Amino acid sequence: MSDANRSAQPPPAEGVRLQWAAVPEQLRALAERKLGSAVVSAASQPTGFSPGVAARLQLADGRRVFVKAAGPEPNPGVPAIHRREAQIVAALPAAAPVPRLLWWHDDAESGWVVLLFEEVAGHTPAQPWLREELERVVAALVELGAALTPAPPGLPAVRSAGEVFTTQLCGWGQLLAEGSAARSRLDAWSARHLEALAALEAEAPAAVAGETLLHLDVRADNVLLTPERVWFVDWPLACVGAAWVDILFFAPSVAMQGGPPPEQLIARHPGVRSADPAAITAAVASIAGFFTQRSLEPPPPGLPTVRAFQAAQGAVARAWLAERVPQLTP
């Protein structure tokens, strides 16, 4: 990786976790009964932004499992995200490089959702990125797309990428609709080209159509490496679209965390090489708009660090888009 990229200090991909002991006692006891063994220790995992529990559990019988859990505090939206992830992961093929869901429970009384996964004894990629680890992840991402094309049957109501891009990844359009107040908060390049950026973004929903089940949130903190395999975790945002969309979303975080520039990274994906360049540009415009617009919002409850992470990705994505569309002058 380049010395310039390595010298940058990106915001850490870390939020504020709850501990296993924060899960209501009756749900911890229920989990132990389902596992058939008591939990003797819980090691919280720092990476990732969910304000819930994410911990490796050591059981009395020597086994280890991974738990994710969240209740209505501090962020009432997180249990629904965990619920969705459980439904998606349960429907994935057994051969997919995704930790197997052992059990999950949606507790109506307390509002907590608890997921137990097989533990993957792996580690997240080094930061800044090591060339050999990045090459492994890119190759695995290509293989993942092939394995999940067409999208597996039996999935819950997973939306199309076009719908997601229309309703959620439309930051430039939202900023344009907000008028001068929003424009005043933007960097000079974005403010000057906002109409053109919104027009480019509007082309993305049609551009990303496809039949691949996408992760849509691939970053270093959602990847685990073992000597034998690359694993992809955290699937609540999954949707169905063009196989190359995942590497486009991956690219800004890679560059931000010491890896190669986005164009160099995406050139390694065969789907990108065969895609219409205009479709890629429209999707990049939408990704840049998403990170830019979200970074300007107040932090969600329990996620005080996520906006800085989005802002850093947005800066990379805007520079990438300017490179792809030179008529958007500096």
Domains of the chain: residue spans and CATH? 20-118 (3.30.200.20), 131-324 (3.90.1200.10)
- Write the burial class of residue 36 (CB in 10 Å: 0-12 exposed, 13-18 middle, 19+ buried): exposed
DSSP string, 108-156: TTT--EEEEEEPP--BPPPSSPPHHHHHHHHHHHHHHHHHTSSPPTT--
Q: Do 256 and 127 meet the contact criterion of CB atoms below 8 Å apart? A: no
Question: Cis link prior to 300 (omega < 30° from 0)?
Answer: no
Question: Cis link prior to 128 (omega < 30° from 0)?
Answer: yes
Query: How confident is the model at residue 1, as a pLDDT?
Result: 46
At residue 8 the predicted structure's pLDDT band, cuts being 50, 70 and 90, is low
> Cβ contacts of residue 312 below 8 Å, gap of 6+?
10, 11, 256
Q: What is the mean pLDDT of the chain?
A: 95
What percent of the residues of the chain are helix, what percent strand, and what percent coil, each to the nearest 5?
45, 15, 40
Please state the pTM of the whole predicted model.
0.94
Q: Do 65 and 116 meet the contact criterion of CB atoms below 8 Å apart? A: yes
pLDDT at 268 over 50: yes
Query: How confident is the model at residue 16, as a pLDDT?
Result: 82
- What token pair was written down for 95? 């051969």
Query: How confident is the model at residue 49, as a pLDDT?
Result: 82
At residue 7 the predicted structure's pLDDT band, cuts being 50, 70 and 90, is very low
CA distances for 6 relative to 49, 85, 94, 155, 248, angstroms: 23, 33, 37, 40, 21
Average pLDDT over residues 66-86: 96
pLDDT at 221 over 50: yes
pLDDT at 108 over 80: yes
